[in-house]
Structure 1
Amino acid sequence: MRHWLGKHRNALILLVCFGVFRTSVADWNPVPSGSMRPTILEGDVVLINRVAYDLKLPLSDLSLMRLGNPQRGDVVTFSSPKDGIRLIKRIVGVPGDVLELRNEVLWVNGTATEYSDLHNGSEPNTHGPVMMAVTATEQLGNSPHAVQFLPAVRAMREFGPVTVPADSYFMLGDNRDNSADSRYIGFVSRHLLIGKAHHIIVSANILDDWMPRLRRFGQAIP
């Protein structure tokens, strides 16, 4: 055993360093669901900056140092406060914000979010026929991004007003009517944040033929 360890020492050191890097600095996250459509699709693999907000002790939620503050509009991965499952959503409310949803329109601190470029389209449905979808550009602060609505789906289109507590965040999926977000799982404490998603590394059409979507390789996440 000692001989084997000596022979493969460099490879083992490399694997340990890689593991520490992935658990504390950068990571990638395959996306299996459509809760962030049309920004992120099923089959996208996104790159996560784990030190965007906190330097954490590897393999833990313990913050050693705060490096930045999450901003409204950031797309982040985090551990669900409900069951610990890793999720990816968009921050729409930061500490102190007063949020409300009125007939799908997001209100932040008493101001309605602006929506433009509305288009009718379709949404793939693995459990039945294709559904009608409405896409729009949502102007959330300085972060314009696409969102999607599914009129035929039963969803929570009204909530609040609620005030985001200290060191907590309110998350919504860009696919507003098909997302298990803070409307259902509650506020997300800062220590549950894993990192900021900023690029799509690779992508494949996992709902159909598994062909690579080359146009999405390397795309920035708005």
Structure 2
Amino acid sequence: MKNVIFKRWGANKSLLLFLALMLVFRSAVADWSDVPTGSMKPTIVEGDRIFVNKMAYDVRVPFTHASLYQVSNPSRGDIVVFDSEVSGKRLVKRIVGIPGDFVEMKNNSLIVNGQQLDYQFVSDNGMTLDKRENLLGVKHLVRVSKHRTSFSSFNVGAIPSGYYLALGDNRDNSADSRVIGLIPRREIVGRTDSVVLSLSYDNYFIPRKGRFFKRL
């Protein structure tokens, strides 16, 4: 019996080692993440598989959130992936407030540290509008409702150390910091800045070739 086990190990050790290394790589270095909802539209759409750089902020112990070395801190405008303890889900949102910032929103217009952000009209989608938001130098698209919602205005005051304010780009259709509260830094898994591939949920999962390797 022992001889059979040793022979099987000898025949498969390269494959097993490869699989083990791949698991470690995906846990601590880089991975991709499915996006099942439209909370980040129009930047990220349902069916996108986004690249996640897990070493953007920390070098971590594989399979844990324990940081061995801090590389950097999230910045305003970063799209982050985090494991939310409040929601019990892995979420993708954009950082709009960092520790020390004073952030408020009035009628879907952000005010950061007393500065009203600039918005430029991009398109009319019927019930929503797409605008280009200038987040203190980081320009990106956001989608807002034409009518006020409970999400359209808020005031969180000063953001404490170790926490971040994260919002979905689909501002009136996102369970973000307005629902789950500020994001602890320890929950942030990594940063994304590109789509790996994309499948159309509404069209038999046909690949959207135009979104392959798209920069965010």
TM range (shorter): over 0.9
Regions of 4+ moved over 4 Å: none
**Out of 36, 39, 45, which is 1:41 matched to?**
45
TM-aligned CA distance change 1:58 to 1:117, over 3 Å: same
Distance 2:9 2:137 in 1: 53
TM-superposed CA distance for 1:12, in Å, is 0.5
Unaligned runs of 5+ in 1: 123-131
Any idea what the Cα deviations from partners look like across 1:73-112, whole Å, max 9, x if unmatched? 0001001131331000000000000000111111100111
How is 1:88-127 mapped onto 2 (pairs within 5 angstroms)? Answer: 88-122=92-126
> Residue 96 of structure 1 aligns to which amino acid in structure 2?
G
Unaligned runs of 5+ in 2: none
SS in 2 for 1:204: strand
Could you say which residue in structure 2 is the equivalent of 1:63? 67
The more displaced of 15-24 and 211-220 is: 211-220
* Backbone CA RMSD of aligned residues: 1.3
Could you say which residue in structure 1 is the equivalent of 2:214? 219
**Out of 184, 191, 199, which is 1:189 matched to?**
184
> Residue 65 of structure 2 aligns to which amino acid in structure 1?
D
The answer to whether 1:52 aligns with 2:56 is yes
CA contact (8 A) 2:107 2:148 kept: no
Could you say which residue in structure 2 is the equivalent of 1:72? 76
> Residue 80 of structure 1 aligns to which amino acid in structure 2?
S
The answer to whether 1:87 aligns with 2:54 is no
TM-aligned CA distance change 1:153 to 1:103, over 3 Å: closer
Distance 2:147 2:106 in 1: 17
Could you say which residue in structure 2 is the equivalent of 1:29? 33
Aligned residues: 212
> Residue 157 of structure 2 aligns to which amino acid in structure 1?
V
Query: Which structure: larger Rg?
Result: 2
> Residue 88 of structure 2 aligns to which amino acid in structure 1?
G
**Out of 12, 16, 21, which is 1:17 matched to?**
21
What's the TM-score once normalised by structure 2's chain length?
0.94
**Out of 151, 166, 170, which is 2:165 matched to?**
170
